Amino acid sequence: MAAAAAAAPGALGTLQAGRARLVAACCARLGPGWRLSGSWTVPRVDPAIWARGWTHAAGGAAWRRGYSSEVKTENELRVRYLEEENRGIVVLGINRAYAKNSLSTNLIKMLSKAVDALKSDKKVRTIIVRSEVPGIFCAGADLKERVKMNSSEVGPFVSKIRAVINEIANLPVPTIAAIDGLALGGGLELALACDIRVAASSAKMGLVETKLAIIPGGDFLEHLTLELLRG
C-alpha cells in the first residue's frame, strides 16, 4: 500500500503529461494560433497544411474557415477521420452558419447517429467536437424551430438534446471540445459533456436562456457540478 502511495504522484504526473500531449496533438490540427490554458502553447500550423480548409481573409491577417451562408441539411455535421500520424482521431464539425450552429432536430439526429457509430468503432482513439463556422461554437437549441412546435413536441425535442449530450459524455474514448467564439445554452452544455475543453481567446460562454425563464435542459448542472468537484 505504501509503495503504491509513493508511486502515485509520479503516475499522476505521467498521466497529466500524456493528457497535455494528447490535447496539443489534437488541437494543433484545429487551426493557427490555438492556445491552451496555463503554460501549454499549441504551435502555429503551416498555412499550406490548411490550404483545403482555410481561406485567408481579404485585406487582413486573420484566418477564417471557408463556408457557405446556406448549407444543405445533410452537411450540417461534418465527420472527418484524420489520417497518417493522426489516425484514430475523429473530428465532428458543426456547420449551421445560417443558424449560428444552433441545435435543430436534424442536427441532433445527425449527432446521435454519428456518436452511435463512433462508440462501437474500436479504431477511434479521440473525438474532437468543433465548429466549422468562424466565431461561433454553438448557440444552443434552435429557438426559431422550437417556437413553431406545439406543446407535445417541445418535451421530446429537449429530451433528445439531453440524450445526445449524455451520449457524448459517456463515450468510451477521450473527447475534446474546441471552443472558438460563442458557446451558449445547449452549446455550453455540449462542451461540458466533453472530457477536455480548449477555448480560443475569442470564446464566450453563457446560459442566455435563463433570461427567458428557460431552465437549462441538457443536464448542465450535473456536468458543471462534476467539473467543479474535479477542481
Active-site residue set: 141, 186, 189, 209
Query: Are the CB atoms for 99 and 142 separated by under 8 Å?
Result: yes
47 CB-near residues (< 8 Å, 6+ apart) = 32, 54, 56, 63
- Three-state SS sequence of 82-105: CCHHHCCEEEEEECCHHHCCCECH
> C-alpha 198: how far from its chain's center?
9
- Name the percent of the chain in helix, strand, coil, to the closest 5: 45, 20, 35
**Cα gap 178→49, rounded to integer Å:** 19
d(CA 160, CA 168): 12
129, β-bridge pairs = 92, 177
Task: At 159, list the grid cell.
Answer: 429530451
Residue 129 contacts residue 177 (beta carbons within 8 Å)? yes
